[in-house]
Structure 1
Amino acid sequence: MITVHLKYEIDPYRIDDFEEYGRRWITLVNRFGGNHHGYFLPSEGDSDIAYALFTFPDLARYERYRKDSATDPECQAAFELARRTQCIRRYERRFLRPLDASPTQTGGSSGERP
């Protein structure tokens, strides 16, 4: 399983546009076989930072989603919404793997402490 964590720097005066962008991508990621965990918008604190989390069963499925979304008309419309409104200033993408209680989980540890 692979989880994608996105950190967005958004225009706080374009929050409605960003919310529309997020609603579209929740539906799209789910349609492409992922599990979108939602967008997390500013409330208290920083007014220009938002987050999103979604999961795919494996890296191959995520890569297929990336390839297919590049030509999908609904995905392109969502990209265009962000471009036209400039609601997103920049973003960072991280790939994470979940940790569960199972001692047999693959991935190992380097033995180093954080």
Structure 2
Amino acid sequence: MITCVVRYVIDPEKTEAFERFGRRWMALVDAHGGSHHGYYLPAEGASDEALALFSFPSLAEYERYRELFGRDPEFIEADRIRDDSGCVLRHERTFMRPLERHA
């Protein structure tokens, strides 16, 4: 299993748009072989940081999902929420693997 952690810097004035963006991507990840663990939005502290975590069974399956970016109409529509609203100022991806409690 591979988990993608996406760190976002968001516009605090556009949190509602970011939530729409996040809901759409949660559905897309789940529909295309992944498991979305959710978006984590500012509650206390920095008001411009958000996280998303989602997993795929393998890096190869994640890459198949990524092939749809910029091509699939649903993916383009989801990105349009982000682009049109300006809710995301920047983001970065990190891939992690779990250390299971019981090996």
Alignment of 1:1-114 (within 5 A): 1-100=1-100, 101-102=102-103
TM-score (norm 2): 0.96
Look up the SS of the partner of 1:61 in the other structure: helix
Quote the offset at 1:69 in angstroms.
3.3
Quote the offset at 1:80 in angstroms.
1.0
Quote the offset at 1:67 in angstroms.
0.2
Give me the whole-angstrom Cα distance separating, in 2, the residues matched to 1:9 and 1:61: 27
Give me the whole-angstrom Cα distance separating, in 2, the residues matched to 1:43 and 1:7: 15
Contact 2:68-2:75 within 8 A present in 1 as well: no
> What is the number of residues matched between the two proteins?
102
Look up the SS of the partner of 2:38 in the other structure: strand
Quote the offset at 1:37 in angstroms.
0.2
TM-score (norm 1): 0.87
Structure number with bigger Rg: 1
- Over the aligned positions, Cα root-mean-square deviation in angstroms equals 0.7
Give runs of ≥4 in structure 1 deviating > 2 Å: none
Give me the whole-angstrom Cα distance separating, in 1, the residues matched to 2:19 and 2:68: 23
Which amino acid is 1:80 matched to?
R
Cα-to-partner distance string for 1:66-95 (whole Å, 9 max, x where unaligned): 002331111101111111110000001000
Gap runs ≥5 in structure 2: none
